[in-house]
A = this chain, B = another copy of it.
Amino acid sequence: MAGSKCTRLSGALIQQLLDGVDSVLFDCDGVIWRGDQAVPGAPEVVNLLKEHGKRVFFVTNNSSKTRRMYADKMARMGFKVTPDEIFGTAYCSAMYLKKVAGLKGKVYLVGSDALRQELEAVGIQATGVGPDHVSGSQCDWAHVPLDPEVKAVLVGFDEHFSYMKLNRAMQYLTDPGCLFVGTNTDTRLPLEGGKAVPGTGCLVRAVEIAAHRQAEKVGKPNHFMYDCVASQFGLDRTRCLMVGDRLDTDILLGSNCGLKTLLALTGVNKVADAEAHERSGCPDRKKMVPDYYVESIADLLPALQG
């Protein structure tokens, strides 16, 4: 039913949708918070969903915080959540390397200390965190000392990204047996007031180009993020709702996994973006059209309070 896509969610339709779902997966930035401010009404919506017996999860491509750091941030904003409900790419990358890739060895990590902590929490040692400034000549760079125990390169958000890190990652990846994983491919990290800074996707792509290899991507829209939640909590995909502000990550993840999808207009994309995908006639683009949209997830409040 083409006419049923991208429907504004309001009135009785809200209750009808909620009756059909047991679990709600929320993207974070642009949906439940913006920067350091909760989206008004978002904590109430999340807390009421839980009171109504729904399971609630948080699925974010940001790799710069541990589950514990996210739980603390959300508690300060008034969300009643526990760390095991939070699935960031730091945690999910650790799970991917351990459970899916079966890594036996260390990780050369282009990423944050939070990412290192999540790896360590599942028993994976990581090297590489922090500054790595260039020294010596080209010949020294090509012969940079490598740790023989490193069996994977993981690229996440890294404010200390440098030519030397790019080089070290490339040298490790000349071994075809070395795994290559990227946390996500977001090109920018949006901030308040329309500003942004470069995202992890720039770093992953730079390493891919140097290494002449493609990284496995853990983050949305890759289905692994959903699989990670589903395998731990036994989700029924037909009774899950994915809520996000981005069509190319959140909504596409939902489509890729057969979930119901809801676009919140508090972040990156607008209804016109979804309509353009719908009109394109392109099957790949149509996967980015949400089932529903709301101005803000606060629009769910009346149904939950009623």
Contacts and interface: CB of A to CB of B under 8 A. Distances in A.
A230 interface: no
Contacts of A142: 191, 195-197
Contacts of A191: 138-139, 142
Contacts of A212: 187-188
Contact of A167 (B138, B141, B170, B198): B198
Contact of A197 (B138, B187, B197, B207): B138
Interface in A131-173: 131, 133-134, 138-139, 141-143, 158-164, 166-167, 170
Nearest to A189: B138
Contacts of A143: 195
Contact of A198 (B159, B163, B201, B202): B163
Interface string A168-203: 001000000000000000011101100111110111
Contacts of A163: 158-162, 198, 203
A206 interface: yes
A137 to B, nearest CB: 9
Interface string A92-104: 0000000000000
Nearest to A169: B198
A210 B202 contact: yes
A272 interface: no
Contacts of A139: 191-192, 195
A147 to B, nearest CB: 18
Nearest to A136: B159
A195 B133 CA distance: 21
Nearest to A191: B142
A209 interface: yes
Q: Size range of the interface on A?
A: 35 or more
Interface in A79-108: none
A8 interface: no
A188 B159 contact: no
B206 A210 contact: no
A159 to B, nearest CB: 5
Given A138-B197, A159-B134, A195-B143, A166 B202 contact: yes
B197 A202 contact: no
Nearest to A143: B195
16 contacts: A133-B133, A134-B160, A138-B191, A139-B192, A142-B195, A142-B196, A159-B164, A160-B163, A162-B163, A166-B198, A166-B202, A170-B196, A187-B209, A188-B212, A198-B206, A202-B207
Interface of A: 131, 133-134, 138-139, 141-143, 158-164, 166-167, 170, 187-189, 191-192, 195-199, 201-203, 205-207, 209-210, 212
Given A158-B163, A202-B206, 13 more contacts: A142-B191, A142-B195, A161-B162, A161-B166, A162-B163, A170-B198, A187-B209, A188-B210, A198-B206, A198-B210, A203-B206, A205-B205, A205-B206
